[in-house]
């Protein structure tokens, strides 16, 4: 049996891979691992507390019930904050002094999927070691080891925490360097967890907001909208003559944008814009931006031209965050739109990222396209190869030889990256080159080798 935890929590098809029984068992195991220190301390009889939120997927309703039941049965008091973004749950976990937090979401994945993410005290993602301990404890119980359960007054109590929405929106607006008055902004909330939060935050910050993707029904999350499908945002920006458009994903930890002409502004460009802005404001610590190996080579070249350093990590915002905390850096993120502003958030926050991008447009009075022009993207082709054995990527000699030949062909003007997805059953083939046709040709050839070698 493979590891339950992937790069971003436990994820799978709800009610098939991710069942109510699994959600309940993991929650009990997490309660025991994440509150072990508190249970040994005398805190005036205070029980551990957990913040629990979810995105609006239909399956989130029964999974939330299972998680809450598991936590309360383990003696944890639960604050249910309802449908809120992942970064809101992280923020509230810290601001409320909770022992840990739980978010039910599969982020940008299709509606049938769902997931469970745990946050440690302070709203930080769990280290691998903590995830391993939770999984080991869960497996012990699944193999027949009974839980030691509290009874009577020892069981946890469940409270609806309705104040979370206003507290989080106030936080978003309160940390902005300036207001965005006068900007017309289209906000696409992906029919997801930020359907109320994002439009409200932009409006309170002074924007003239046109809101789309803001009517979740439990089934339409990420369906042709949000940061993974920018056409609806592009069309709305052009139709309304907006200054820019902001799109988040289902749990709103990602943000992508389009300029007033409908051109995409990806995570690398957003990082570049914010990096320059924060350097000017004196808030970019060590004059360094943290990115991943998936970032466009053009991003690195642009930051070097601006006199900024780039630190690269493995793919995954958790690895970006680990490097930021290790080096004391204040800005990092991914091309996919996970952007972490560590002074104001402990994880990627799509609404905050979009607000800070809009604030930069408002402060400079320069269009987003001009600001994003700080970097020039080299042609980059990404192919997702599905239905292959992603676990064999590192062991395939045929694949290693094909990559070596591709790198020889590209020389110093390009690069190749093969990466098994941590959240989906596929292998990503990424090729950058000075010429778009060459990038497509090399990527297509590598994708064919991946299929034959790993299929």
Active site residues: 107
CA distance 455 to 445: 15
Say how many CA atoms lie within 13 Å of 203 toward its Cβ: 8
Closest CA to 175 of 338, 353, 439, 23: 353
CA distance 82 to 158: 12
Would the annotation count 317 as a binding residue? no
CA distance 260 to 238: 7
In a 3-state reduction of DSSP, which class is residue 385?
Answer: strand
- The neighbour count for residue 133, using CB atoms within 10 Å, is 18
Scanning 332-435, the segments in alpha helix (DSSP H) are 350-364, 368-372, 397-410
Would the annotation count 253 as a binding residue? yes
Q: Which two tokens stand for residue 366?
A: 């320069």
What b/e sequence results for 376-405 when a residue is b if at least 16 CB atoms lie within 10 Å of its CB, and e otherwise? ebbbbbebebeebebeebeebeebeebbee
Query: How would you classify the pairing of strands 124-125 and 208-212?
Result: unpaired
In angstroms and rounded to an integer, the radius of gyration of the C-alpha atoms of the chain is: 22
Element (H, E) at 129: helix 128-142
Q: Are 104 and 96 in contact (CB under 8 A)?
A: no
CA distance 291 to 295: 6
Closest CA to 77 of 104, 43, 109, 106: 43
CA distance 201 to 15: 34
- The neighbour count for residue 41, using CB atoms within 10 Å, is 7
Residues within the annotated binding site? 107, 249, 251, 253
Residues within the annotated binding site for Mg(2+)? 107, 249, 251, 253
């Amino acid at each position: 049996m493979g590891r339950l935890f992937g790069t971003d929590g436990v994820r799978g098809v709800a009610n098939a891979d991710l069942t109510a029984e699994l959600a309940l068992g993991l929650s009990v195991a997490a309660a025991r691992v994440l509150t072990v220190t508190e249970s040994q301390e005398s805190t005036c009889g205070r029980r551990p507390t957990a913040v629990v939120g979810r995105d609006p997927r239909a399956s989130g309703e029964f999974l939330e019930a299972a998680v809450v039941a598991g936590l309360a049965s383990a003696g944890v008091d639960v604050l249910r904050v309802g449908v809120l973004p992942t970064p809101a749950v992280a923020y509230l976990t810290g601001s409320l002094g909770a022992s840990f937090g739980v978010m039910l979401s599969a982020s940008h994945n299709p509606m049938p999927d769902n997931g469970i993410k745990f946050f440690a005290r302070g709203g930080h993602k769990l280290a691998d070691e903590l995830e391993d301990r939770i999984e080991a404890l869960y497996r012990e119980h699944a193999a027949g080891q009974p839980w030691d359960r509290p009874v009577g007054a020892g069981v946890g109590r469940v409270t609806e925490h309705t104040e979370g929405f206003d507290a989080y929106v106030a936080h978003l607006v309160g940390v902005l360097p300036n207001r965005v008055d006068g900007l017309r902004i289209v906000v696409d909330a992906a029919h997801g967890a930020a359907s109320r939060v994002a439009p409200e935050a932009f409006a309170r910050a002074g924007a003239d907001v046109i809101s789309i993707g803001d009517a979740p029904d439990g089934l339409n999350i990420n369906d042709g909208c949000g940061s993974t499908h920018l056409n609806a945002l592009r069309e709305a920006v052009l139709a309304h003559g907006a200054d820019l458009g902001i799109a988040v994903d289902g749990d709103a930890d990602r943000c992508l944008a389009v300029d007033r002409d409908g051109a995409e502004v990806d995570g690398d460009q957003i990082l570049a814009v914010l990096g320059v802005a924060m350097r000017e404001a004196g808030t970019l610590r060590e004059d360094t931006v943290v990115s991943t190996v998936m970032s466009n080579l053009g991003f690195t070249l642009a930051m070097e031209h601006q006199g900024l350093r780039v630190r690269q990590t493995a793919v995954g915002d958790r690895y970006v965050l680990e490097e930021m905390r290790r080096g004391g850096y204040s800005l990092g993120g991914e091309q996919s739109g996970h952007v972490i502003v560590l002074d104001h958030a402990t994880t990627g926050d799509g609404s905050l990222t979009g607000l800070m991008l809009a604030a930069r447009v408002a402060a400079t009075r320069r269009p987003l396209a001009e600001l994003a022009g700080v970097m020039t993207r080299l042609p980059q082709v990404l192919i997702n190869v599905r239905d292959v054995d992603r676990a064999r990527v590192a062991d395939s000699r045929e694949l290693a030889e094909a990559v070596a030949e591709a790198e020889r062909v590209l020389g110093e003007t390009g690069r190749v990256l093969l990466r098994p997805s941590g959240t989906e059953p596929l292998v990503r083939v990424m090729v950058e080159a000075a010429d778009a046709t060459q990038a497509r040709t090399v990527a297509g050839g590598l994708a064919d080798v991946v299929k034959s070698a790993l299929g």
